[in-house]
Structure 1
């Protein structure tokens, strides 16, 4: 073997291991809406591998599709990428949320290699037992006033449309992305209180089941934190934050972003091509 080939193999191995995980959790994709960052999601799916992939609810936005049909080729490509992973041996679990609640009638079935479950317990490599569920049934608004949840969803859609226009201007001005919805969540007292109550309710449910932690989605706020001895994990969303929760092979849980995963992959590919004497 030539020296150059040895270096190329090493670079390739590093690239594969940097984006190879034991488990990945993604949620709140909202396929079927213009707000879904389907192209970046597809890049993330193509750049990562895992033994298990959890789809933690609101994968397809049935609420919005009932109002207005929106579905382009990239959304198809995302679905095909998930099916391809299942076909190649990745265990794929789909835990429906409130926006794709119609899928709940198929709980317990395996369709096209996708296992549909209401909630699950995931055991990490470190032995931690984690409850996996979307989390909408712990949302007081959805549980008690679903009409208000629909209203909130419409308002959120309007905020996203404003964001798209405003951030197109910011991009032309060379400025980074800015999220009005995230700003409001952090600044409005009632929103902060709502998020804290939701997180505590999920942690309490995990504790009541004798588990070590909980993994959820729903509120579009990626976070890992300790709540009275319970590990609370939220994998975020693919509308604005573009985040996922991953488990490394030693059982460590962490949040990753589209940017860090795809940028690392591209940098290592450039390094591999450079070592091979090919212009990056």
Structure 2
């Protein structure tokens, strides 16, 4: 497969340092996709997981080396920390290995649309005000991911190639979780739509989406734990949501050409 070159790429919720991280798929994505600018939109290194158990296999180290190599070769990389790597927020505006740390950033597309780039936990009332509940939820989520890893191995052994995420399945079967995701989106939009930006690009809830909400574009990068998704900006400035599978890419949302042009 040839390497695709984009104007900008956004990825988030890699959870390097945890057993959740799909490092092999992530490495394949980084190998076959380059960009002028790369945003790491939080929860890149999972310090929550590392505080409970030291887990750092070779391919996780290779991911870090690959990202640093991109920076050395001219990719502008901006790291916007999340709640799982919140200690990195103490280094706002610092530069480490050619990577710039920023609590948030404004990205202007080729079409002139301005997007706030932020991890998104700042707009999650549970993460902000009920930290113990957020960590308890993370433990339950970890169990689902572990079960999903076993199921994925069995499916590969049986030759079943279609993508399936147990955690995503459970999310959409539990009404409270669905309502949480909806409330999260609405909170971000209501907070930011009068802040002089055309949209927001975030992560945090592991649900990738490009959605126009009342003329404001809500963009979520998803994750590299369940869905292995990313947001890309093409050279003409339109955004696209993709799901990456090793050696092949499946477009799951083609999105923003119309919504972006409609934003006033």
Report how far residue 205 of structure 1 moved: 2.9
1:250 aligned partner: 236
1:151 lines up with 2:151 in the alignment = no
CA distance in 2, matches of 1:232, 1:262: 29
SS in 2 for 1:257: strand
Report how far residue 215 of structure 1 moved: 0.1
Query: Are the counterparts in 2 of residues 223 and 235 from structure 1 also a CA contact under 8 Å?
Result: yes
Report how far residue 185 of structure 1 moved: 1.3
Q: Given the two structures, how large is their TM-score scaled by the length of structure 1?
A: 0.86
SS in 1 for 2:193: helix
Report how far residue 208 of structure 1 moved: 2.7
Query: Are the counterparts in 2 of residues 86 and 114 from structure 1 also a CA contact under 8 Å?
Result: yes
Structure 2 counterpart of 1:71, from 32, 56, 69: 56
Report how far residue 170 of structure 1 moved: 2.5
In terms of fraction of residues, the more helix-rich structure is: 1
CA distance in 2, matches of 1:247, 1:170: 33
SS in 2 for 1:256: strand
SS in 2 for 1:210: coil
1:230 aligned partner: 216
**Structure 2: segments with no counterpart, 5+ residues:** 250-264
CA distance in 2, matches of 1:44, 1:121: 25
Report how far residue 186 of structure 1 moved: 1.2
CA distance in 2, matches of 1:127, 1:33: 38
1:57 lines up with 2:56 in the alignment = no
Q: Which has the higher contact order (CA 8 A, sep 6+)?
A: 1
CA distance in 2, matches of 1:136, 1:196: 14
1:207 aligned partner: 193
Query: Are the counterparts in 2 of residues 170 and 177 from structure 1 also a CA contact under 8 Å?
Result: no
CA distance in 2, matches of 1:46, 1:197: 36
Report how far residue 30 of structure 1 moved: 0.1
SS in 2 for 1:208: coil
Structure 1 counterpart of 2:158, from 140, 162, 173: 173
Query: Are the counterparts in 2 of residues 171 and 177 from structure 1 also a CA contact under 8 Å?
Result: no
Larger radius of gyration, structure 1 or 2?
1
Query: Are the counterparts in 1 of residues 167 and 226 from structure 2 also a CA contact under 8 Å?
Result: no
RMSD across aligned C-alpha pairs, in angstroms? Answer: 1.4
1:32 aligned partner: 17
1:99 aligned partner: 84
**Structure 1: segments with no counterpart, 5+ residues:** 1-11, 265-280
SS in 2 for 1:125: coil
In terms of fraction of residues, the more strand-rich structure is: 2
Structure 1 counterpart of 2:184, from 198, 208, 214: 198
